[in-house]
Amino acid sequence: MSAPVEVRVPDIGDFKDVAVIEVLVQPGDTVAVEQSLITIESDKASMEIPSSKAGVVQALKIQVGDTVNEGSVILLLEAAAVTATADASPPAGDSRNAPAPAGETRDAPAPAPAPAPDPAPASRAPASPTASSAAPSAAPARGTSAGAIGGDLTCDLLVLGAGPGGYSAAFRAADLGLEVVLVERYASLGGVCLNVGCIPSKALLHVAAVMDEVAHFGDLGVAFGAPSVDTAKLVAHKNKVVGRLTGGLAQMAKMRKVTIVTGQGRFADDHHVEVDLASGGTTRIGFARAVIAAGSEAVKLPFMPKDDPRVVTSTGALELPQVPERMLVVGGGIIGLEMATVYSTLGARLDVVEMLDGLMAGADRDLVKVWQKLNAPRFDHILLKTKTVSAEARDDGILVRFEGEGALKEQVYDFVLQAVGRVPNGRNIGAEAAGVAVGERGFVAVDIQMRTNVPHIFAVGDIVGQPMLAHKAVHEAHVAAEVAAGEQLGDAKLAKAAFNARVIPSVAYTDPEIAWVGVTEDDAKARGVKVKKGLFPWTASGRAIANGRDEGFTKLLFDEASHAIVGGGIVGTHAGDMIGEIALAIEMGADAVDIGKTIHPHPTLGESIGMAAEAFEGVCTDLPPVKKR
């Protein structure tokens, strides 16, 4: 008899002293490699711990109620004569790598549900075939084994890009039983959003909001000294926030047995991706189906100085390389104004230049007006209908010239942020080799099932069109994964999944926040859509007044005839946390009575949504009486 082998808890990330809530084996049981042994649970998640060896359990070293860490001994095992390995043949009954049964090729999407208002019609148009020397093959037959396709590594589903769309597609497909490979060019998962976008910017914006809030507390009888800012510690805090989330993704990928390949991927043909590995060399991955989630990158103006640390995109701005005295923000959209908020709070004086006639395009002007009034002290100049035409690096700063209605004479700035939009990565992934059609601007056209013109290749996220938002990408990713899994596994219900969201909310995480969803008032006027408005000013909100932040308001837009809600907007603190209720109301087809009769807790900012609906109906008792006509 061979000596017993200790089976230990593997790397479980940041989890420490995690409780054992279930023991899944007993002495005498025969276990296989990757068979679950115990279930552990922390305040964040529960997970099953698999066996790293095959054999017979001799003795358990833990019991329910114990706490474990990485390296804790779970049990003693008499190892099998031939140790199973991670790449062993699948057990009986696992058909993922088995030859495919005969079946019809699924080369057309399921019937689409009834169409709903689409916020990005251009990205939903059926894709037209691209000119290609090799015509793309039809979608693989149900259950087709990727192993038959060949490659250094094979999988049921390959996902190119690990941002919110990419990892969501990978994880959902793995949960549904597919073997998944996730290709990501950067060392950590999460894409732009988690690493250099949504999450790190919110970490800095939170600090800025607290600093701004505290500055006014002297008027309330609570005085603090002037803040002392250690930018190195602030960046370390931001990086810790990012690391916690990206590390969690890596752990969840491991739990789901998603294979991560780090490197720059590009299509070699319609069933293979070549990856230039970050560790050196290349590898070729064969796939039955694929999801393109390659995202976008910040636009860099061609006339801006290259490789000058004083000229950055949002990625560079998040590193807080300096706190400038004078800062220029090129572009008056959400990204630019969020970063402007951070730098202003830290001490910078701001100029912003925008080609359009207003800031935050897309939001109603009455919402933006409230933000602009409160934030006017941050800015020396807001240059509208103006463009930046040249920039020159000098010893004393970046010399910038402008043209347009609001143009200043040439100005010198210590720091320049380029925030003029993002461009999709559709032309950087070798899509033509797979026969995937890519438009002139780099977008990949998809249908309602997120399918490209190549039937077994899907695309999600920024690369399929506006709006470029992480929360849109996640929902698109779930659809793509479900359709791919449904076709691969022969599940007709999954194969009919479709992206048919009525609305997609937008949020500017400035101070105050601005959030909107569905039809906007400005858009309705421009298109002649007949809507009526219910508005609740926060000057009548007990919670807003108690918070000392009553500058905002909540408005709802209703169809003039049916009174069904079609849109809404909020300006004020925590607007982004509340806009989801309005989105849900639109999705559910609620009318003003439904919303107004829903009991909201008091005193909250959220009750302003119910009161705006009551205001529309003329029954709000928290506002002056409606004048009778």
Of 258, 53, 288, 279, nearest to 185 by C-alpha is 279
Of 269, 271, 261, 282, nearest to 146 by C-alpha is 271
- From first CA to last CA, the distance across the chain in angstroms is 96
The encoded tokens of residue 281 equal 């060399």
Give the whole-angstrom CA distance, residue 448 versus residue 127.
Answer: 11
The β-bridge partners of 47 are: 40
Q: What is the DSSP string of 421-452?
A: -EEE-GGGS-HHHHT--B-TTS-B---TTSB-
Which of these is catalytic: 237, 471, 574, 602?
602
Contacts of 377 (CB under 8 A, 6+ apart): none
Residue type, 375: N
Give the whole-angstrom CA distance, residue 461 versus residue 97.
Answer: 29
Element (H or E) spanning 50, and its range?
strand 46-50
Give the whole-angstrom CA distance, residue 185 versus residue 161.
Answer: 7
Longest dimension (CA), the chain: 96
Q: In the annotation, is 456 catalytic? A: no
| C-alpha dihedral (515, 517, 519, 520), degrees to nearest 10 | 0
Of 203, 184, 189, nearest to 319 by C-alpha is 203
Contact 33, 19 (CB under 8 A): no
Q: What is the DSSP string of 494-550?
A: HHT-----S---EEE-SSSEEEEEES-HHHHHHHT--EEEEEEEGGG-HHHHHHT--
Give the whole-angstrom CA distance, residue 587 versus residue 599.
Answer: 19
DSSP 125: S
Element (H or E) spanning 595, and its range?
helix 592-597
Give the whole-angstrom CA distance, residue 344 versus residue 25.
Answer: 59
> Is 270 exposed, middle or buried, given 0-12, 13-18 or 19+ CB atoms closer than 10 A?
buried
Give the whole-angstrom CA distance, residue 579 versus residue 572.
Answer: 11
Catalytic residues: 602
